[in-house]
């Protein structure tokens, strides 16, 4: 018991700069505000996985030294990579190296079977790491959303003109910015769908499709949100659309898209919970 506790404390001491960086990103980066929830979810899944398979855990502790040596090797490579990346201020890459360090530590202490059992909780932690290219795709995604939303409201009879990111209504002039990209909803919904695919039983193809469908669903939800925003601006004016509706409509449409997951799980034959993981 002493060795695992000591290893955990040493791991936290070494990786503290990354945890501090992650906290700052979760608190200040609107695209990754969900990141603070990923760690407790992953810890819960890991604890449940071990608790529900105590015998397998006991067997994993008896793995041969050769298997554990591979864990030590992984830990060593990940540690060297982590230190180098941290010195280069490549925090997001260092965060991924940190996950490998965690996997190597578990492998060295508990054997390969323990890592296999905890593969998903460890991998799920990747959703808490901000990626640098996310901000680069927000504007193109926002422009795409604007074109689709403009086409939809024109089809429904609203007189609207969209040139680039400039939107012209008879009573208002609007600008489609990065905040209209829906990237935060896309990342959060993908994380939720991935979690659902893990805890639900069913064919592999159905669970895989559940994750893939999170991308078009998030984009659809955001297009409908921007379309409704244009309707509000046309009916009540730009002030009403952006002072009140803009701030609260994102959560509303995210919840509507999330609710679509339930009929999707039935369609994809992934309806029941897996008792071996929760």
Q: Which two tokens stand for residue 120?
A: 């998903």
Residue 273 included in any domain: no
Q: What is the pLDDT of residue 62?
A: 42
| Residue 90 DSSP label | -
Residue 275 included in any domain: no
Angle of helix 91-110 versus helix 65-87 axis, rounded to 10: 160
Percent of the chain exceeding pLDDT 70 equals: 94
Q: Which of 128, 151, 180 is the last residue in one of the domains?
A: 128
Asked if 256 and 138 sit in the same domain, the reply is yes
H helix intervals, the chain: 2-28, 35-51, 54-60, 65-87, 91-110, 112-117, 119-124, 134-155, 183-199, 204-212, 214-236, 238-240, 246-259, 261-267
Asked if 58 and 140 sit in the same domain, the reply is no
Q: What is the pLDDT of residue 182?
A: 84
Q: What is the pLDDT of residue 231?
A: 86
Q: Which of 80, 100, 128 is the last residue in one of the domains?
A: 128
Q: What is the pLDDT of residue 60?
A: 45
Asked if 123 and 171 sit in the same domain, the reply is no
Asked if 53 and 124 sit in the same domain, the reply is yes
Q: Which domain holds residue 72?
A: 2-128
Residue whose C-alpha is closest to residue 149's, from 49, 240, 249, 277: 249
Q: What is the pLDDT of residue 86?
A: 94
Q: Which two tokens stand for residue 139?
A: 């504007």
Q: Which of 128, 151, 167 is the last residue in one of the domains?
A: 128
Residue whose C-alpha is closest to residue 229's, from 175, 190, 164: 175
pLDDT 10s digits, 129-161 = 999 888 888 888 888 988 898 888 888 888 888
Q: Which two tokens stand for residue 73?
A: 């090797």
User: Residue 61: is its pLDDT beyond 60?
Assistant: no
Asked if 177 and 223 sit in the same domain, the reply is yes
Helix/strand/coil for 27: helix
Asked if 102 and 146 sit in the same domain, the reply is no
Asked if 155 and 189 sit in the same domain, the reply is yes
Residue 272 included in any domain: no
Say how far apart CA 147 and CA 163 lie, in whole Å. 9
Given the structure tokens 């323990």, which residue do they identify? 114
Neighbouring C-beta atoms of residue 132, cutoff 10 Å: 10
pLDDT 10s digits, 9-35 = 999 999 999 999 999 999 988 888 889
Asked if 153 and 260 sit in the same domain, the reply is yes
Mean pLDDT, rounded, for 60-79: 73
Phi, psi at residue 31, to the nearest 5°? Answer: -75, -20
Given the structure tokens 């905040």, which residue do they identify? 179
Asked if 156 and 113 sit in the same domain, the reply is no
Give the confidence band of 67 by pLDDT, cuts at 50, 70, 90: low
Residue 95 included in any domain: yes
Residue 277 included in any domain: no
Neighbouring C-beta atoms of residue 136, cutoff 10 Å: 9
Asked if 165 and 87 sit in the same domain, the reply is no
Asked if 209 and 262 sit in the same domain, the reply is yes
Q: Look at the chain and report how many structural domains it folds into.
A: 2
Residue 64 included in any domain: yes
Say how far apart CA 63 and CA 184 lie, in whole Å. 42
Asked if 114 and 30 sit in the same domain, the reply is yes
Residue whose C-alpha is closest to residue 198's, from 123, 264, 99: 123
What's the pTM value of the predicted model, to 2 decimals? Answer: 0.86
């Amino acid at each position: 018991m002493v060795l695992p506790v000591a290893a955990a404390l040493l791991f936290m001491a070494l990786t503290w700069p990354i945890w501090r960086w992650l906290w700052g990103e979760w608190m200040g980066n609107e695209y990754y505000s969900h990141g603070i929830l990923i760690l407790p979810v992953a810890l819960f899944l890991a604890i449940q996985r071990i608790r529900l398979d105590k015998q397998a855990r006991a067997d994993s502790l008896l793995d041969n030294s050769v298997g554990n040596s591979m864990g030590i090797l992984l830990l060593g490579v990940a540690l060297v990579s982590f230190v180098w990346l941290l010195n280069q201020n490549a925090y997001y890459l260092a965060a991924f190296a940190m996950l490998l360090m965690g996997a190597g530590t578990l492998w060295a202490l508990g054997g390969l079977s323990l890592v296999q059992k905890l593969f998903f909780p460890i991998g799920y932690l990747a959703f808490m790491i901000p990626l640098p290219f996310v901000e680069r795709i927000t504007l193109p995604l926002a422009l795409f959303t604007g074109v689709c939303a403009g086409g939809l409201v024109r089809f429904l009879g609203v007189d609207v003109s969209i040139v680039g990111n400039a939107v012209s209504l008879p009573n208002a002039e609007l600008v489609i910015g990065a905040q209209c990209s829906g990237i935060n909803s896309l990342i959060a919904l993908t994380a939720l769908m991935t979690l659902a695919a893990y805890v639900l039983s069913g064919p592999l193809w159905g669970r895989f499709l559940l994750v893939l469908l999170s991308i078009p669903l998030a984009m659809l939800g955001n297009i409908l949100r921007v379309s409704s925003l244009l309707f509000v601006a046309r009916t009540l004016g730009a002030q009403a659309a952006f002072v009140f509706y803009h701030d609260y409509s994102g959560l509303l449409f995210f919840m509507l898209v999330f609710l679509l997951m339930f009929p999707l799980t039935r369609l994809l034959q992934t309806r029941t919970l897996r008792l071996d993981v929760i």
